[in-house]
Amino acid sequence: MLKDHKYECQKCKERGFYKKATHVHHVQYVKKHPRLALSKTYIFQGKEYKNLIPLCHNCHEEEHDHRQRKKKKLLTEERW
Task: State pLDDT tens for residues 13-56.
Answer: 999 999 999 998 988 877 887 887 878 878 889 988 888 889 99
Between CA 67 and CA 8, with CA 36 as vertex, the angle to 5 degrees is 50
In a domain, 32, yes or no: yes
In a domain, 50, yes or no: yes
- Domain with 10 in it: 3-63
- Helix, strand, coil percentages, rounded to 5, for the chain: 20, 20, 55
In a domain, 71, yes or no: no
In a domain, 21, yes or no: yes
Say how many domains are in the chain. Answer: 1
In a domain, 35, yes or no: yes
In a domain, 72, yes or no: no
In a domain, 59, yes or no: yes
Query: Residue 2 has what pLDDT?
Result: 79
Q: Using 50, 70 and 90 to split pLDDT, how confident is the model at 9?
A: very high
Q: State whether the Cα torsion 6-10-15-18 is positive or negative.
A: negative
In a domain, 77, yes or no: no
CB-based contacts of 45, cutoff 8 Å, min separation 6 = none
